[in-house]
Structure 1
Amino acid sequence: MSFDLTKAETPKADDAETETAPEESAARRGGLVDFLSGPAGRNLGLVLALVLLIIVGILTGGERFASTDNALTILRLGSVIGVVSVGMTFVIAGEGIDLSVGAIVALCSVWATTIATQTMAADYHWSVMVFVALAVGAGCGLVNGVLIAYGRIAPFIATLAMLAAARGLAEIIAKRRTQIIRERGFVDFFGGSVAGVPVLVIMFAAVAAAGWVLLNRTTFGRRTLAIGGNPEAARLAGIRVQRHTMYLYILLGLACGIAAVMLMARTTTGTSTHGTLYELDAIAAVVIGGTLLSGGRATLVGTVLGVLIFTTLTNVFTLNNLDTSTQAVAKGAIIVAAVLLQQRVARTGST
């Protein structure tokens, strides 16, 4: 008696399809999740959100919103906080936080517009004011970096102390007065435009491009992400975590100095009230852009899109005569939604 082993071991066509279909479906789901959790998927979502805001602006604001002048106004307003957000991206990517950026911007603007500084600028060149702003910003960043990296003070506490100290020092130097910029060369240069594009927007684009290269194409950027992902593993790999962390805060301080120069040119003043709530706006733009608050992942393209989203949102609210309280509620809701989305994507990607 014999058996046909070939027929016995060969599965039916229907059974084979039933067994492979779930695997193909899971692969498709996995591919979709990977795309949405990747840089391209996150940036696509931000672009769609920005387009939706633009459509809402056109429908509610009409020609006032759709005009070229209004578009340049949005870009000009977003450029200052955008530069701060670029620096904040590096700090958050390295598992840090900085609550003092607004106060540092104020201190830089005040110090760069004192009578002594403007007198030197008149005697030599207006670039003296730029140098002072950058030096003050870098100095504040250095203090933050040393306290956090070598003093082992929590970033939240160290930068909160800097927030109070820098704002108070700005008030003391300015005597709670607004200092007017009298050096016309400074205002004419930074307040001008090139081929119809404001210099402030060009500066923001240049800083964002330089930040992208630094983050994605250099050892400095790779070390930043490594420290944010796992500081102990980065240390064992030979990275000098403390020194690098200090550099991150100095970099953010320089960004605050650049932002102060841009704000001084836009308002032609230096005052201790400059930069109010910039820390919240910068952190919000970075988080919306897809940079993890826990560090280890960052995207400069997302940060730029986040800045544009918030600036456009503010512009739409302003054109529709909505008060600042409503704007604050909307921003808070967007931040919470972004963090919840990050957590959901992270959990889905890990399963």
Structure 2
Amino acid sequence: MTAQTHAKQAPDGAAPQGPPSGRARIGALLSSPAGRNLGLVLALLLLCVIGMATVGDRFGSFDNMMTILRSASVIGVISVGMTFVITGGGIDLSVGAIVALASVWATTIATQQMAADFHWIVIVTTALLVGAGAGLINGLLIAYGKMAPFIVTLAMMAAARGLAELISDKRTQVVTERGLIDFFGGKVLGVPVLVIIFALVAAGGWVLLNRTTFGRRTLAVGGNPEAARLAGIDVRRHTTILYVLLGLACGLAAVMIMARTTAGIATHGSMYELDAIAAVVIGGTLLSGGRGTVVGTVFGVLIFMTLTNVFVLNNLDTSTQAVAKGAIIVAAVLLQQRVASRGSTP
């Protein structure tokens, strides 16, 4: 059998094309969702090995695993919402401040009095409405005001944090509704409710992004807004909804952090924007938009929380943690660019 019979039949005038090269196959594997998730799993396992080697049983204990998951739950909920915004071509620097504002507004004397007269669900509803309202303002200014997401959310970060300080008078507002603390601070079959909420939000986010028209439109808007508009998608309305969705996630995160700390404070959510964006980028979502993965985001959150836990158990200071997080973010972006270039190289 001759070599020509192994070549693919090509159109007249075109050279026969053989099978893709090994480099192309490797690039395709690395750029595929399965390849990216496999890399994240290996990174997480490596951190666990380092934790076991440096700390021992203290790291591998069930209580410590639950501590990691509990810590990951709050920032994880925000990160799922951030995945949608970044996939849609946006960015939000105000998530931490929105969490603080929602926690403070939901723990005012007036709000807690209403909760005492009716039900603690009033506190939850207030936090969700504050978060959604802040997200709506962001979305309207970005989509209809045609302002840059960086500028709008930077302004919201300053304004929301300042408003939280004004409402609370820079004081800690203690949650007096024991029902809320008992519910969100409880456990189901030994698993903290906060972890279950994170799992439900992640599962819902995965379905919304990968199995619905809304998710396909989010990918289209982030990939090419003009093409999405020509295809009949209301890009401005969709962008606004994405920021409202992230605002709701911030409101829910505020409730979760109130249950953990039993207080609403204007300092809640400090640097959450960095952690959320870092988790999303490490997970494989493109900062330029058009590609997003909720599964990758979940792994990104777990990697960061595990890293923080290893640092804490080894008595390393927060400055070292910050340097490591910054280095990981840069490495993740560089890896994204390299994988993208390999995937496009025959």
SS at match of 1:177: coil
Query: In the aligned structure 2, how far is the partner of 1:308 from the partner of 1:25?
Result: 38
After superposition, the C-alpha distances for 1:110-143 in whole angstroms (9 at most, x for unaligned) are: 0000000000000000000000000000000000
Partner Cα separation in structure 2 for residue 281 and residue 60 of structure 1: 24
Please state how far the C-alpha of 1:29 moved relative to its aligned partner: 2.8
Instruction: Please name the residue that 2:91 is paired with.
Output: 97
Tell whether 2:108 aligns with 1:119. Answer: no
Matched, 1:172 2:184: no
Cα distance, 1:25–1:59 mapped onto 2, change above 3 Å: farther
- Trace 1:200-215 onto structure 2 (pairs within 5 A): 200-215=194-209
Q: 1:307 aligns with which of 301, 313, 316?
A: 301
2:53 to 51, 59, 77: 59
Amino acid at match of 2:318: T
Partner of 2:287: 293
Alignment match of 2:256 (pick from 262, 276, 279): 262
Q: Is the contact between residue 24 and residue 342 of structure 2 (CA under 8 Å) also seen in structure 1? A: no
Question: Offset of 1:26 from its aligned partner?
Answer: 4.0
1:38-81 deviations in Å (ceiling 9; x for gaps)? 10000000000000000000011111101000000000000000
The number of aligned residues is 338
Matches within 5 A, 1:308-327: 308-327=302-321
Query: Is 2:218 aligned against 1:231?
Result: no
Runs of 4+ in 1 over 6 A off after TM superposition: none
Alpha-carbon separation, structure 2, partners of 1:92 and 1:154: 13
Tell me which residue corresponds to 2:271: 277
Structure 1: which 5+ residue stretches go unaligned? 1-9, 18-22
Residue 192 of structure 1 corresponds to 186
Distance 1:214 1:16, change over 3 A: closer
Which residue identity is paired with 1:117? T
- 1:38 has 2:32 as partner: yes
Percentage identity across paired residues of the two chains: 75
Aligned-partner residue type, residue 322 of structure 1: L
Following the alignment from structure 1 to structure 2, what is the Cα–Cα distance between the partners of residues 299 and 136?
27
Separation (CA, whole Å) in 2 of partners of 1:42 and 1:279: 23
What is the DSSP-based 3-state SS (H/G/I as helix, E as strand, rest coil) of the residue aligned with 2:327? helix
Bigger helix share: 1
State the AA in 2 paired with 1:240: D
- 2:210 maps to 216
Q: Letter of the 1:251 partner, please give it.
A: L
Alignment match of 2:64 (pick from 66, 70, 73): 70
Output the CA distance in 2 between the equivalents of 1:248 and 1:232.
Answer: 17
How does the TM-score come out when normalised to structure 1? 0.94
Counterpart of 1:68, as a letter, is F
Q: Distance in 2 between matches of 1:272 and 1:117?
A: 16
Which position in structure 1 is the counterpart of 2:143? 149
Matches of 2:5 and 2:29, distance apart in 1: 29
1:349, CA displacement in angstroms?
1.3
Letter paired with 2:341: R
Q: Which residue of 2 aligns with 1:82?
A: 76
- Alpha-carbon offset, residue 28 of structure 1: 3.3
The one-letter code sitting in structure 2 at the alignment partner of 1:313 is L
Structure 2: how far apart are the matches of 1:227 and 1:16? Answer: 44
CA distance in 2, matches of 1:63, 1:346: 40
Amino acid at match of 2:292: A
Looking at structure 1, the residues matched to 182 and 121 of structure 2 have their Cα atoms a distance apart, in angstroms, of: 13
Is residue 249 of structure 2 the alignment partner of residue 251 of structure 1? no
- Give 3-state SS (helix, strand or coil) of 2:302's partner: helix
Aligned-partner Cα distance in 2 for 1:341–1:208: 24
Cα distance in structure 1, aligned partners of 2:105 and 2:18: 63
Question: Are 1:106 and 2:103 counterparts?
Answer: no
Give the TM-score taking structure 2 as reference length: 0.95
CA RMSD of aligned residues (A): 1.8
Q: Which residue number in structure 1 is paired with residue 322 of structure 2? A: 328
Q: 1:143 and 1:228 mapped to 2: Cα distance?
A: 20
Displacement of 1:31? 2.1
